[in-house]
Each structure stands twice: as C-alpha cells, then as structure tokens.
Amino acid sequence: MSASITRIFATRAAARLPRSAAMFAASAPAGRRFITIKPIYTAEVTSTGGRNGHAVSSDKFLDVELTLPKELGGPGSEGKVNPEQLFAAGYSACFQGAMGLAAKGINVKLPETNKVTAAVGIGQHPQGGFGLSVELRISIPGLDKATAQKVVDEAHRLCPYSRAIRDNVDVNLVVV
C-alpha cells in the first residue's frame, strides 16, 4: 500500500476517534497502532490534592486517602496509600484473571492457591520526569515450570494492564 493511501486511511480512522485519541494516533511511533475498544465497563475515580490527596470512585466503594511515599520526599502517612500501590493491586488482580483465561485456553486447571504479586517501582526516567517498572511474581503450585510459564506468557499477552504498558514500562515476569 502506498504511503499516500496509508495516510488517507489513517486520517479517516483518526477522524472517527475522540480528539485526544486522534492526536495520540497521529503522534504514535511508526509501527505502533492505536486500537480503540467499546468499553463493557468503565471505572470512574476522581482524585483531588494529588499524591497527598484523596481518591473516590463514582460508586463510593473506593474511598482512599493518598500519600507521597517517604522515599519520594513525602510523609508516607500510615493508613494512606499511593498510586503505585493502587496500580500494583489492579495489575496483579487483572493478571491473575488473565491467567485463568490463558489456562482455560490450553486446557489447564489452575489451582485456587495461585498468587500474583506485583512490585511497582517509580524512579527517574532518562528522558526526564518519572517512569515505572513492574515485576510480577507468579506462584502456581502444582503446575510444572514449563506449563506455568506458558500460562504466564499467554496471560501477559491477554491482560489489559500488560497491553496498556507494553513497550512503555519494563515488566519482568517471574514464575516462582
């Protein structure tokens, strides 16, 4: 396909996207596609006060006080959480769900005692600002290492969190 035809298709596709999505699609690196989905569920959380503030979901089930960790120069207040903890909770839970789908796809029964621990790090990004790193430690008792690795690799392909940060965040998968 010629470059001009590709540009026409990209322009037409971008015209159907929300403005922010169209801008992202136009600025995406070559070879990286922007994919839109039709949400089945949307979580809505409002934060105020930044990292030393408050976050509450629209249904009021999530209602947390936030604190900047001491390691980042904040108070690290007891009883409060930080965005990295919330991301780790979401990613580990989502990845565990993706493992269930992955196991089902290869006819493997996952033990109920399987666990996913997410360690989310934050640090200086070489291009300025901050960046994240993730290590997922996965325990699947009763499965041999090769089968467990197949489940984990497929889960990493399927998991929406993995997809969202692919090629942006260093993710280390460790089967323990």
User: Radius of gyration over alpha carbons of the chain, in Å?
Assistant: 19
**CATH code, 73:** 2.20.25.10
Say if residue 145 is in the same domain as residue 101: yes
Greatest alpha-carbon pair distance for the chain in Å reads 59
26 and 49 in a common domain: no
| pLDDT, tens only, 84-140 | 999 999 999 999 999 999 999 999 999 999 999 999 999 999 999 999 999 999 999
Domain ranges, residue 68? 41-81
Indicate whether 77 and 87 sit together in one domain: no
| Residues 73 and 87 both lie in one domain | no
| pTM of the model as a whole | 0.80
- Same domain flag for 48 and 28: no
How many domains is the chain built from?
A: 3
Q: Based on the fold, state whether residues 159 and 90 are members of the same structural domain.
A: yes
pLDDT in tens, 19-37: 444 444 455 555 666 778 9
Same domain, 102 and 50: no
- CATH value at residue 135: 3.30.300.20
> Same structural domain for residues 63 and 132?
no
